[in-house]
Amino acid sequence: MSETTDIIEELLEATGLDKNYRTDSIALLEKGESRYVRDLKLNFTSTLTSEHLSAKECGLLGLSIAVNNNNKPLTAFYTKFSEEQGATAAEIAEAVGCASLLASNNVFYRFRHFTQKEKYTQIPARIRMQLMMKPVTGKEFFELMSLAVSAVNGCEMCVNAHEDSLIKLGTTEERIFDAVRIASLVTATGKIVY
């Protein structure tokens, strides 16, 4: 067995998958004995810790991004990890709901931003957003998840709005940066483990 295969098996076991699980992407990395698998494993592992976020927050952020990206293995992993870190069923449901709500908002507000037409800013959005009003995870953390999902979905207007809200709420730039870092690494892992 090669070192690459060993690292792939460690990554798979870390995500709760059988060490023999293979996607087409994993098989290609393994066949080419890619050095990237070491980075992938270390990057994935780094989504679970932060100097600026609690382990529970890391898990809920990972869950929201995994749901946003429709990644079943990572959704299962981050759900379990979040539960192990003390997340309640309501907090887990909110992370899932955040991914869905922000998916619609990101499409809608990207459209408004892309067209740059005043008329579209005058027409009511008619998108229900009660989830944002009194989040069980707290306003600041819900904004942080919203920013992370918006960054993954590429909505510039949404990223700027959520980042501005977070700064006004007193969130540090380091905390914001870590949330987006985690979102990027969960997305990267999901390109290989799916």
Residues carrying an active site annotation: 155, 158
166: enclosing H helix or E strand = helix 156-168
Whether residue 109 contacts residue 157, with contact meaning beta carbons closer than 8 Å, is answered with: yes
CA-based torsion, 49, 54, 56, 62: positive or negative: negative
How far the first Cα of the chain sits from its last, in Å, is 23
Whether residue 109 contacts residue 142, with contact meaning beta carbons closer than 8 Å, is answered with: no
Tokens 């892309």 locate to 114
Whether residue 31 contacts residue 153, with contact meaning beta carbons closer than 8 Å, is answered with: no
Q: Could you give the CA distance from residue 161 to residue 11 in angstroms, rounded to a whole number?
A: 35
Which residue type is seen at 38?
A: R
Number of Cβ within a 10 Å radius of residue 164: 12
